[in-house]
Amino acid sequence: MSTAADRLKRHFRLVPDFPKPGIVFYDIAPLLVDPDVWQTTLESLAPLVRAYDGSVLAGIEARGFLLAAGLAHLLHCGVIMVRKKNKLPGNVTRHTYDLEYGSDCIEVQNDMVAAGTKVVVVDDVLATGGTLKASVKLLTSIGLEVRGAVALLELTSLRGRSNVTCPLSTLIQVAE
Ligand code: AMP
């Protein structure tokens, strides 16, 4: 019998050469649009998130927001947003990190939750792990206790897991 993860895997739409040549993009839009599939997605991820015992979920822009919001509803957690530069108002802490070519920057509002709050980071796809690593660093820098990270899909051939500095769970693994 196939597991929920096996069944969900079939709903990703693979888009070759997006957003640039050589990348196969794993699009979660077909999972979102079907209410049964989306519900299964959230219910399958919920135990992974619950195991880290956080009170707040940090969603990574942008698809991480959708997952974090749905999971927070199921688990009665709060949500905070890890966003790209200059999107968040108010008191913001920024973290700049290196990419293969150039750098990127993420931000979080630093006065939304108290220092010491237990946080679980949520995203859709773990590729190189750079975004997750940077998010953990950013959230830790504002005093939060990052209990773990959860991604819906892990592209195992990119070995992003080795970059992630907190406990990590992924529901679906694919070797590209
Ligand atoms: P990375 O920092 O390389 O682990 O990239 C993770 C972020 O980029 C996540 O927020 C994903 O949404 C997005 N991402 C990276 N690679 C892919 C891919 N092949 N398909 C879909 N999303 C991706």
Alpha-carbon span 106 to 113, nearest angstrom: 18
Query: How close is the Cα of 154 to the center of ligand 1, in Å?
Result: 9
Q: Is the CB of 123 under 6 A from ligand 1?
A: yes
Q: Indicate whether residue 113 lines ligand 1 (CB < 6 A).
A: no
> How close is the Cα of 108 to the center of ligand 1, in Å?
19
Dist. CA 2 → ligand 1 center (Å): 26
Q: Cα Rg for the chain, rounded, in angstroms?
A: 16
Q: Give the mean model confidence (pLDDT) for residues 34-52.
A: 98
Least confident of 100-109, 133-142, 156-165: 100-109
CA of 56 to the centre of ligand 1 (A): 22
Distance from the alpha carbon of residue 166 to the mean position of ligand 1, in angstroms: 18
Q: Is the CB of 125 under 6 A from ligand 1?
A: yes
Confidence of residue 176 (pLDDT cuts 50, 70, 90): confident
The model's pTM:
0.97
User: Which phi and psi angles does 113 have, rounded to 5°?
Assistant: -130, 155
- Find the 125 Cα to ligand 1 centroid distance in Å: 5
pLDDT of residue 127 exceeding 80, the answer is: yes
**Is pLDDT of 132 > 70?**
yes
- For the CA of 27, the nearest atom of ligand 1: 21
Is 80 exceeded by the pLDDT of residue 83?
yes
pLDDT > 80? residue 93: yes
Q: Is 25 in the pocket of ligand 1 (CB under 6 A)?
A: yes
- Token pair belonging to 157: 């051939």
In this prediction, residue 123 has a pLDDT band, given cuts at 50, 70 and 90, of very high
What is the average per-residue pLDDT within 108-122? Answer: 98
pLDDT at residue 66, as a whole number? 98
User: Could you tell me the pLDDT band of residue 1, with boundaries at 50, 70 and 90?
Assistant: low
Q: What is the mean pLDDT of the chain?
A: 97
If you take atom 5 of ligand 1, which residue's CA is the nearest one?
A: 127
